[in-house]
C-alpha cells in the first residue's frame, strides 16, 4: 500500500529526514517510535502534504501513485488520513458541515453519490457513540473550545467517518488520560481491517498496549535505526532509547575498526 | 436636466440656485425651506471633503468632486416589474416593505402590511406633519458634508413611528432601487425611525441598482429610541460597482434603550458610512456591528462614533473586513466618554482579512475619555487566512478553494450571527455565501 524509499526531507534548509525506507501493506499496523526531535512528526507532515517541507530525495508510492506529487486534498481523497498531534481550532466552521463536505468530497472522488443530511446524521451518530463523543460537539465549530481529549477523540471520530485506507496517527496518545486513551484506541482498533493500514506514531509504549502493532520501527536522527515486532516496543519501554541508539553508533564505527 | 447645466459636486457656490429650483419643485409642503437652507449653509461651511481633512484623510472623493451634481428627481421611467424585485426582498413573507425607486416612493411596489395600532409607516409625503415635527430634533449639527447635503436636498424617504409599548412583529424593509444611473444622478433619501418607550422594531435598509453607472446615493437615517425601546437596524449596501454610496446613521438612545446597528457593505465603487449613537440617558446598550467585503478597486469606509454622554451605558463594536485584489478599507472607530459618563463599558474590535498583497486597510481607533471610572477596550487586527486551518480542511479532502471559502465565510458569519432578527440573519448569510462564490446550505 505504502512504499517509502530513501525519503529525505527538511525544513528551511535543515535536513530532518535522512533517508527513510518503509513498506506498509494492507492489514498491517506499524508503530513508529523515537525520542523527541527524531523526525516522527515531520514524517507524518510530509506524508499528509503539509506546506513548508522540502523533499530533497526519495519517493513515496501509495497504491502505485506518486504520493508526493499530490495535493493534500488529493491524498485525503485517495485514502490517506492524518490524525493531527495538535488539531486546529476553526472558529465559525460548523463541525457537521465540515465533516459532511469532507466525506462527500471523498465520495465524489470514489464515484459515489453524496450523502444527504439524513444519511449523514445516521452515520455520524453511530460513530460518535463508539468514541463516546457527545453529539453537540458536532454542532459546534470544529475543535473550538474542545478539551485536549475531545480534540483527539474528534480526530479518531473523523477517521471513523472518512474510513481511510491509510491512517497516520501522530502522537494521538499525548495528553490523554487512561480512560480517554482506552476509548481512542478502541475506536482505532474498530477501524482495523484487512484492507487498510495504520501508522501509529508515538513517543511512549503505553499506547501500544491498546493498539497492538505488527511492526515497530525506531526513528532516530531522521533514520529508522531498528525495526522489529511488537516485542521491540517492550524492550524500548524497559531499556529506553539509549541502548538502541548506542548500538547503532557502535555499528557505525565497526567498519573503522575493521581497517 | 442636462449635464452641462449641473454644477460639479465640488462647485458648492453654484448650489444655492439649484436649491431654489429644487425647493419649489420638490417641497412636499413641510415648510422645509429653512431646514434646507441650514443644510446648504453647513455644507458650504464644511466645504467639499478633501484628504487634508482628518475625517476624510484615507478616502479621496476626487472621483465624486468632478461629477455633475444632479439632485432633482430624475424624470421617472417605467417602474420595475414587481416580479423582478423579489430577489431583493428580505424579512420573510410577512415583512412590511416600502420601496423607493430613484428616490421616490413607489406605492404600487410596496407592501406596508396590515394596520397596527400605534404604528405609523409610510413615506415622508404621507406623514408630512409628523416629519415636520422631526426636523427640530434631527441630527443637523452633527452632519458631515454629505449629511448636510442630504438635509438640503433630500427628496423622500421612510417615516416609521412606533408609539409607547408597540411591538412590530414583522421586520420592516426599506428597499431603495436605482434604475437610472446617469453620472451624478444623486438619490438622497432621508428616513426617520422613531421608537417610543418600550417599543420594539427591526428595520433593514437595502440599497440596490438595476443599472450600472456613476450615480450617487446619499442616504441619512435618524433613529430616536425612547426608554426601554429595542431597535435593530440593518443597512445593506449592495449597489452597482460603479456607484458611490454615502450613508449616515444617527441614533439617539434613551434610558435602558437597546440599539443594534449592522452595516453590511458589499457594493459600490466607493462607500462611506458614518454611524453615530448618542447615549442621551443612562443605562443604554448599543451594538455597532459591521462587515465589509471589497474587491477590484472598491473602497469602503466606516466612520463610527459612540458618544457616551451618560453613565452606565454599554457599547460593543465589532467590524470585520474582507479585502481582496487592490481594494481598500477604512475603519475609524471613535468613542467619546464624557465627563458625566461614569461606569461606561465600551468595547471595540476591528478585524481585517487581506486576501491579496495589494489590498489595503487603514484602521484607527480613536478614544476620547473624560470620565475616570470606565472600562474601554479596543483592538484592531490585520491578517491573512490561517494556513494551518486551510491545511487541516484540505487534509480531510476538501479542495483548496472550498477550504478558503469556508474560512472566509466563517469570518464573515461571525458578524452576521449578531443579527437578532432571525429571518434577516438567514437571508444575509445566504447573500454573503453567494457573494463568496458558494451556494450550499450550511445550516443542516
Q: Are strands B96-101 and A223-228 parallel, antiparallel or unpaired?
A: unpaired
Burial (CB < 10 A; 0-12, 13-18, 19+), residue A231, is: exposed
Burial (CB < 10 A; 0-12, 13-18, 19+), residue B357, is: exposed
Give the integer Cα–Cα distance in Å for A220 and A233: 14
**In this structure, are residues A225 and A218 in contact, taking their beta carbons and an 8 Å threshold?**
yes
**Which pLDDT score is estimated for A28?**
95
List of chain A residues whose C-beta atoms are within 8 Å of the C-beta of residue B406: 93, 98, 101
Give chain B's radius of gyration (CA, Å): 21
The separation between CA A182 and the C-alpha centre of its own chain, rounded to angstroms, equals 17
How many C-beta atoms surround the C-beta of residue A69 within 10 A?
A: 11
Angle between helices B145-153 and B15-26 (to 10 degrees): 40
Would you give the end-to-end CA distance of chain B in angstroms? Answer: 53
In this predicted model, what pLDDT tens digit does every residue of A5-54 receive, in sequence order?
Answer: 999 999 988 999 999 999 999 999 999 998 888 999 999 999 999 999 99
Q: Is the pLDDT of residue B27 over 70?
A: no
Q: What is the residue-averaged pLDDT of chain A?
A: 89
Query: CB contact, 8 Å: B397 with chain A?
Result: yes
The whole-angstrom distance between B395's CA and the closest CA on chain A is 5
**In this structure, are residues B409 and B433 in contact, taking their beta carbons and an 8 Å threshold?**
yes
Residues of A (60-119) whose Cβ lies below 8 Å from B: 71-73, 75-77, 81-82, 84, 87-88, 90-94, 96-103, 105-106, 109, 117
Q: CA A19, A24, A28, A34: dihedral to nearest 10 degrees?
A: 10
Would you give the end-to-end CA distance of chain A in angstroms? Answer: 42
Interchain pair B444, A117: CB under 8 A: yes
Measure Cα distances from B338 to A122, B85, B255, B390 in Å.
57, 45, 17, 45
Q: CA B137, B138, B139, B143: dihedral to nearest 10 degrees?
A: -130
Q: What is the residue-averaged pLDDT of chain B?
A: 91
How many C-beta atoms surround the C-beta of residue A13 within 10 A?
A: 7
Reported ipTM: the value is 0.94
Interchain pair B395, A48: CB under 8 A: yes
Task: Using CA coordinates, name the residue in chain B closest to A168.
Answer: B395
In chain B, where are the structural domains located? Answer: 12-281, 385-444
Task: Using CA coordinates, name the residue in chain B closest to A89.
Answer: B389
**Which pLDDT score is estimated for A123?**
92
Give the integer Cα–Cα distance in Å for B298 and B243: 10
Report which secondary-structure segment, H or E, holds A245: helix A231-258
Interchain pair B397, A106: CB under 8 A: yes
- Angle (CA) B390-B394-B400 rounded to 5° is 70
List of chain A residues whose C-beta atoms are within 8 Å of the C-beta of residue B394: 49, 71-73, 76
Q: Are strands A197-202 and B96-101 parallel, antiparallel or unpaired?
A: unpaired
The whole-angstrom distance between B444's CA and the closest CA on chain A is 7
Among B388, B394, B407, the residue with its CB nearest the CB of A72 is B394
List of chain B residues whose C-beta atoms are within 8 Å of the C-beta of residue A90: 389, 392-393, 407, 410
Task: Using CA coordinates, name the residue in chain A closest to B442.
Answer: A97
Query: CB contact, 8 Å: B339 with chain A?
Result: no
pLDDT band at B443 (very low <50, low <70, confident <90, very high): very low
Task: Using CA coordinates, name the residue in chain A closest to B400.
Answer: A73
Residues of A (133-152) whose Cβ lies below 8 Å from B: 141-142
Interchain pair B414, A82: CB under 8 A: no
What are the contacts of B106-111 at 24+ separation with CB within 8 A? Answer: B106/B79, B108/B79, B108/B82, B109/B79, B109/B80, B109/B82, B109/B85
Output the tens digit of pLDDT for each of chain A's 259 residues.
Answer: 999 999 999 998 899 999 999 999 999 999 999 888 899 999 999 999 999 999 999 999 999 999 999 999 999 999 999 999 999 999 989 999 999 999 999 999 999 999 999 999 999 998 888 777 888 888 899 999 998 888 998 999 999 999 999 999 999 888 888 888 888 888 889 889 999 999 999 988 888 889 999 999 999 999 999 898 988 888 888 888 887 787 776 655 555 454 4
Interchain pair A71, B400: CB under 8 A: yes
DSSP letter for B78, please: P
Amino acid at each position: 500500500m505504502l512504499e517509502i524509499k530513501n525519503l529525505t526531507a527538511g525544513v528551511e534548509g535543515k535536513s530532518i529526514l535522512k533517508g527513510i525506507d518503509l513498506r506498509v501493506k494492507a492489514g498491517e499496523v506499524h508503530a513508529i517510535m523515537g525520542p523527541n526531535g527524531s523526525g516522527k512528526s515531520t514524517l507524518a507532515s510530509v506524508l499528509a502534504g503539509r506546506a513548508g517541507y522540502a523533499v530533497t530525495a526519495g519517493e513515496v508510492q501509495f497504491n502505485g501513485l506518486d504520493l508526493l506529487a499530490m495535493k493534500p486534498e488529493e491524498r485525503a481523497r485517495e485514502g490517506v488520513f492524518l490524525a493531527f498531534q495538535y488539531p486546529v481550532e476553526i472558529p465559525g466552521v460548523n463541525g457537521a458541515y465540515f465533516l459532511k463536505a469532507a466525506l462527500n468530497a471523498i465520495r465524489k472522488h470514489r464515484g459515489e453519490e453524496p450523502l444527504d443530511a439524513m444519511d449523514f446524521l445516521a452515520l455520524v451518530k453511530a460513530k460518535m457513540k463508539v468514541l463516546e463523543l457527545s453529539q453537540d460537539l458536532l454542532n459546534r465549530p470544529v475543535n473550538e473550545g474542545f478539551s485536549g481529549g475531545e480534540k483527539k477523540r474528534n480526530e479518531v471520530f473523523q477517521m471513523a467517518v472518512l474510513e481511510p485506507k491509510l491512517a497516520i496517527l501522530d502522537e494521538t496518545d499525548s495528553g490523554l488520560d487512561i480512560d480517554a486513551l482506552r476509548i481512542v484506541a478502541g475506536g482505532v482498533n474498530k477501524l482495523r481491517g484487512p484492507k487498510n493500514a495504520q501508522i501509529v506514531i508515538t513517543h511512549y509504549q503505553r499506547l501500544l498496549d491498546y493498539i497492538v502493532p505488527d511492526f515497530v520501527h525506531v526513528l532516530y536522527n531522521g533514520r529508522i535505526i531498528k525495526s522489529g515486532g511488537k516485542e521491540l516496543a517492550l524492550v524500548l519501554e524497559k531499556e529506553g532509547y539509549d541502548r538502541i541508539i548506542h548500538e547503532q553508533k557502535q555499528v557505525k564505527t565497526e567498519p573503522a575498526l575493521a581497517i | 436636466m442636462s449635464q452641462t447645466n449641473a454644477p460639479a459636486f465640488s462647485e458648492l457656490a453654484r448650489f444655492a440656485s439649484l436649491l431654489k429650483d429644487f425647493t419649489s419643485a420638490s417641497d412636499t409642503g413641510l415648510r422645509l425651506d429653512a431646514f434646507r437652507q441650514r443644510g446648504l449653509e453647513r455644507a458650504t461651511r464644511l466645504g467639499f471633503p478633501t484628504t487634508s481633512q482628518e475625517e476624510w484623510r484615507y478616502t479621496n472623493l476626487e472621483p465624486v468632486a468632478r461629477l455633475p451634481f444632479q439632485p432633482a428627481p430624475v424624470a421617472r421611467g417605467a417602474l420595475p416589474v414587481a416580479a423582478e424585485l423579489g430577489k431583493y426582498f428580505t424579512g420573510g413573507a410577512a415583512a412590511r416593505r416600502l420601496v423607493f425607486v430613484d428616490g421616490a416612493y413607489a406605492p404600487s411596489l410596496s407592501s406596508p402590511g396590515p394596520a397596527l395600532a400605534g404604528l405609523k409607516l409610510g413615506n415622508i409625503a404621507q406623514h408630512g406633519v409628523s416629519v415636520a415635527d422631526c426636523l427640530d430634533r434631527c441630527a443637523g449639527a452633527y452632519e458631515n458634508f454629505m449629511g448636510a447635503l442630504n438635509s438640503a436636498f433630500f427628496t423622500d424617504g421612510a417615516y416609521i413611528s412606533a408609539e409607547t409599548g408597540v411591538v412590530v412583529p414583522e421586520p420592516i424593509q426599506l428597499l431603495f432601487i436605482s434604475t437610472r444611473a446617469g453620472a451624478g444622478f444623486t438619490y438622497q433619501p432621508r428616513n426617520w425611525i422613531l421608537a417610543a418607550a418600550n417599543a420594539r422594531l427591526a428595520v433593514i435598509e437595502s440599497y440596490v441598482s438595476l443599472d450600472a453607472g456613476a450615480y450617487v446615493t446619499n442616504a441619512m437615517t435618524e433613529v430616536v429610541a425612547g426608554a426601554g425601546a429595542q431597535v435593530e437596524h440593518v443597512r445593506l449596501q449592495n449597489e452597482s460597482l460603479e456607484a458611490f454610496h454615502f450613508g449616515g446613521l444617527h441614533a439617539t438612545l434613551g434610558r435602558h434603550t437597546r440599539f443594534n446597528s449592522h452595516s453590511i457593505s458589499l457594493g459600490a465603487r466607493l462607500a462611506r458610512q458614518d454611524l453615530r449613537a448618542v447615549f442621551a440617558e443612562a443605562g443604554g446598550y448599543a451594538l455597532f456591528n459591521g462587515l465589509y467585503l471589497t474587491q477590484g478597486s472598491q473602497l469602503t469606509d466606516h466612520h463610527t462614533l459612540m458618544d457616551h454622554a451618560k453613565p452606565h451605558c454599554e457599547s460593543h463594536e465589532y467590524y470585520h473586513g474582507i479585502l481582496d485584489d487592490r481594494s481598500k478599507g477604512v475603519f475609524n472607530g471613535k468613542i467619546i466618554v464624557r465627563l458625566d459618563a461614569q461606569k461606561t463599558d465600551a468595547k471595540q474590535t476591528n478585524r481585517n482579512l487581506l486576501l491579496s498583497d495589494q489590498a489595503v486597510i487603514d484602521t484607527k481607533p480613536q478614544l476620547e475619555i473624560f470620565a475616570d471610572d470606565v472600562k474601554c477596550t479596543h483592538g484592531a487586527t490585520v491578517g491573512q487566512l490561517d494556513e494551518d486551518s486551510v491545511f487541516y480542511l484540505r487534509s480531510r479532502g476538501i479542495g483548496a478553494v472550498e477550504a478558503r471559502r469556508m474560512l472566509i465565510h466563517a469570518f464573515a458569519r461571525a458578524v452576521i450571527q449578531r443579527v437578532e432578527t432571525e429571518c434577516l440573519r438567514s437571508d444575509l448569510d445566504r447573500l454573503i455565501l453567494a457573494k463568496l462564490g458558494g451556494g450550499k446550505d450550511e445550516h443542516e
